[in-house]
Chain A
Amino acid sequence: MNFVANKSDLKVVGTRPVRPDGMDKVTGKAQFGADLTLAGTLVGKIKRSPHAHARIVAIDTSKALAIPGVKSVITAADIPDIPSEEAFVGEGPTNFRDQSLNCIARDKVLYEGHAVAAVAATSSAIADAALAAIEVTYEVLPHVIDVEAAMAEDAPILFEGMITQGVDPKPTKASNIVKKVAFGHGDWQAGMAEADVVVEGKYDTAAVHQAYIEPHACIASVNPDGQTTIFASSQGQFMIRQYTAKILGMDIADIRVTPAEIGGGFGGKTIVYIEPLAVAMSRQAGRPVKIVMTRDEVFRASGPTSGGTIEVKIGAKKDGTITGAYAMVKLQAGAFPGSPVAPACMCAFAMYDLKNVMAEGYDVVSNRAKVAAYRAPGAPISTFAVESVMDELAIKLGMDPIDLRMKNAAKQGTKASYGPVFPVIGFEEVLEAAKAHPHWTAPLGPNQGRGVATGFWFNIGGESSASVFVNEDGSVSVVSGSPDIGGSRASMAMMAAEVLGIPYEKVRPIIGDTAQIGITGVTGGSRVTFATGMATTQAAERAVDELKKRAAMIWDISPDAVDWKDGEAVPAGANAGGFDPLPLAAIALKAAKTGGPINAEVSINAQGAGAAFGAHIADVEVDPETGFVKILRYTAVQDVGRAIHPSYVEGQIQGGATQGIGWALNEEYIYDKNGRMDNAGFLDYRVPVASDLPMIEAVLVEVPNPRHPFGVRGVGEVPIIPPMAAIGNAIKAATGMRLVSLPMSPPKVRAAFDAAKG
């Protein structure tokens, strides 16, 4: 189908129907990862390291195995010692050996909470007793937590063989610096020399967790012939299958993964933690094994995303034209390589049309849980610093901050700071919409301030599969491979209904397991509505082609003489004959006579994802007594390409913005002097609650992506990028103080007031 340029031609896309899985979710029937139990299911639990860094001298499991009711005890000795192998799975580059060692430690534990053994028992209490009976002898090693400390000459080294990549000359000594990256063009230093004004600053952000409300959960059952079924909550059933097969040395075809409903992921459920352990124990015990993480385990041993330090320098002419920009980004990777430092650098200045720009960064390991993807990985961190410095620049130049951004805005044809030239993008439209919004000019009271900040994310395509089945009665089943976290089943059904020309209610979407549908990448990267939507659209188009052929057979005319309109086959013109329209249901009824079932499956590697930009406006009130920052009003403007289901598009933006607000004001990993996390629970790790927030107004700007049949751009990631700087800039406007360290929690704001007083 051609790209739909004219919105008024659309009948289903752009409306707001009730989601097809909604009924299950408001009645408690939806089955999440922990909700399925099979006959004979054992309780699986994991023993974790109390030390941030230690050598495992010995593990004695004999006492645990002797407890009646204990059916399996495993350590790393029970799973293959696989070689280092780089791959691209789930949400980015990964190393299978690292993933294996993160699931269960072999020689060394690298962070507090690192798994060292696992048990499966007939009850939770017996499993707890078994964990307590496992004796682990550690040789405790010095540890390092913070990124700059981990980069120091004398820092404790996590990996003896780690030689920094990407630096010249190649170092001869091991360090915790995995690699250096650099993106940019022109000569940023020459750019600074041309500037009338230069602003710089050093910022830092804390590690934060995705904090999905559903802890990781799975149930695995292995038959004696090796055939394995897994029911698990994740962002990708195929991702679980691939990792589990690789880590346990199994054939992929022996593993069937059924996606549970997923209780939030935000990137954190794009890798495996528990599934290989459940399978290994089920294999030993001959019974199903269920593992459900506690919240404490989720915080200590899964996620989070990196914290880091960011130095930014921007130079500009008096009229606001930026002449040079530089950033140095140092990110925590956690215990294994793989911080999102590359996208952090690539996104840092992507909003702007710059002649001279450079963003460099370091990926640094330390004794923290291995980071996982989190919504626009890396971009919120670097953007916090860049958009704070942009605000300082606007102040110094005496310019309206939106005007300053407009003056330098990236547009079609701009060479992006990360290399390519932008195709059709909507950043200028976003800035215009922000400036025109009544929020921008609304009055403010005492101790109140307003800030604005922007953000960029690439969005991705990737592998997706979808099937369309035309049923005998004319209803339609759509199967796709993308777990639905935020309402994507509704958008799949809507796109299929639009192409088929039938009502949304006639289309029922489901998520296939790994044996029912072709390989589909994880739900992440803001790719599902774009890529899986493209596969669904193409499958529906093939079904329409087939329906036209069947109608032609019924009418006994050439298929070329049949058109498809509003869910009916119609003669293409007067010459085709005077037939009454044949509705889809009538054609479906005769499917057996015209050639058999009418189905279409499409598997693609979708290309042409459209980049997206957002601009957020935040109003805050700062209490000078307590340092408490209250969000008074919040508006998030974003180019979404085209909204398939506007309510769920708004929901992505509101939810992403709120996660950013939490990152800005409250959320952080706090460690004690032994490298143990001090706040591994929702009481002390404070995610935003309803009473913290105002309504979040989502403003949808639609600059369609010409590479998607309906113009879709990814939506989910951009909204977490601008909030930290928008709020920091609002605090600056309210108090005159620039906060450079996240979270901007009451103690820090209070301390800034004290420092300002001198």
Chain B
Amino acid sequence: MSKIHVTTTVNGEPAEFLCEPQESMLDVLRDTLKLTGSKEGCGSGDCGACSITLDGRLVCSCLMLGVEAEGHSIGTIEGVARGDELHPIQRKFLEHAALQCGFCTPGLIVAVKALLEKNPNPTETEARFWIAGNLCRCTGYDKILRAIMDAAAELRGEVAA
């Protein structure tokens, strides 16, 4: 079976890769592009650990084919911080101790970033439903919600950073 050549954008930079037609975007990211920040927790779209954005829309990269990236723009956890400056969501996750093992954290941060770009002022309930597809087994979500609400407020400019 011959591989397919794909031209795409990953975290704002041009990228090219070869992949098998049946290969998932998650496998391409992890195995070919060596971007291992996206994690595989289930391979069936149930856990959200592989969350990325496709043209700004939140998707599970395990449910997307690598070839579907052709001509589109992919965002992963590796592109969330700007250089050595953390995104406020990342900073708030650290300040609120919103992670324990940290395995679900990349997917959650990508998901929360997508949320706040779409809805800068979510209620706690809206935030809970938005991240309902991102499983965290360690924290009980309490501190994650606090980090999200705090990051949203900071991004709206409501509180000092």
Contacts and interface: CB of A to CB of B under 8 A. Distances in A.
| A/B touching: CB–CB < 8 A | yes
A608 B127 CA distance: 43
Contacts of A29: 37
Secondary structure type dominating chain A contacts? loop
Contacts of A690: 127-129, 131-132, 134, 136, 141, 144-145
A689 B135 contact: yes
A688 B127 CA distance: 15
A28 B90 CA distance: 11
Contact of A25 (B47, B49, B105, B125): B105
A213 B105 contact: no
Interface in B79-128: 80-81, 86, 90, 93-97, 99-106, 109, 125, 127-128
A651 B143 contact: yes
20 contacts: A19-B94, A26-B109, A27-B80, A27-B90, A28-B36, A213-B104, A214-B103, A292-B40, A486-B100, A487-B97, A650-B97, A654-B143, A655-B139, A683-B44, A687-B137, A690-B127, A690-B132, A690-B141, A690-B144, A692-B132
Nearest to B136: A213
Contacts of A264: 100-101, 103, 137-138
Contacts of A263: 39, 41, 101-104
Contacts of B47: 213, 295, 682
Interface residues of A, number: 61
A22 interface: yes
Interface stretch (A31-39, A56-64, A391-399): A31-39
B101 A261 contact: yes
Interface string B11-36: 00000000010000000001100011
Interface residues of B, number: 56
Given A213-B104, A682-B46, A27 B94 contact: no
Contacts of B135: 213, 682, 687, 689
A265 B138 CA distance: 9
Q: Count chain A CB atoms within 10 A of each CB in B43, B46, B96, B132 and give the residue with the most.
A: B46
A10 to B, nearest CB: 19
B140 A262 contact: no
Contacts of B95: 18
A485 B77 CA distance: 21
B42 interface: yes
A211 interface: yes
B78 interface: yes
Q: Count chain A CB atoms within 10 A of each CB in B47, B90, B102, B129 and give the residue with the most.
A: B102
Given A26-B90, A263-B101, A651-B138, 14 more contacts: A22-B93, A27-B77, A28-B35, A28-B36, A28-B106, A211-B137, A213-B39, A261-B102, A486-B101, A651-B100, A656-B140, A681-B44, A682-B47, A690-B127
A504 interface: no
A190 interface: no
Nearest to A685: B46
A229 B145 CA distance: 40
Contacts of B140: 651, 654-658, 688, 693, 696
Interface of A: 16, 18-19, 21-32, 34-35, 37, 125, 210-215, 261-266, 292, 294-295, 485-487, 645, 647-648, 650-652, 654-659, 681-683, 687-693, 695-696
B105 A26 contact: yes
Q: Which 5 A-B residue pairs are closest in the complex by CB-CB distance?
A: A28-B37, A263-B103, A25-B102, A658-B140, A647-B97
A213 B49 contact: yes
Nearest to A634: B140
Contact of B46 (A125, A292, A658, A681): A681
B139 A654 contact: yes
Contacts of B144: 690
B23 to A, nearest CB: 9
Contacts of B132: 689-692
Nearest to B102: A25
Contacts of B129: 690-691
Contacts of A16: 97
B91 to A, nearest CB: 8
Contacts of B136: 213, 690
Contact of B101 (A292, A485, A687): A485
A25 B77 CA distance: 10
Contact of B139 (A28, A31, A651): A651
B93 A28 contact: no
Nearest to A295: B42
A650 B100 CA distance: 11
A689 B131 CA distance: 8
B100 A295 contact: no
Q: Count chain B CB atoms within 10 A of each CB in A125, A292, A658, A691 and give the residue with the most.
A: A691
A292 B27 CA distance: 13
B145 to A, nearest CB: 7
Contacts of B40: 34, 215, 292
Interface in B33-75: 35-44, 46-47, 49
B102 A681 contact: no
Contacts of B145: 690, 695
Contacts of B143: 647, 650-651, 654
B87 to A, nearest CB: 9
Q: Count chain A CB atoms within 10 A of each CB in B41, B43, B104, B145 and give the residue with the most.
A: B41
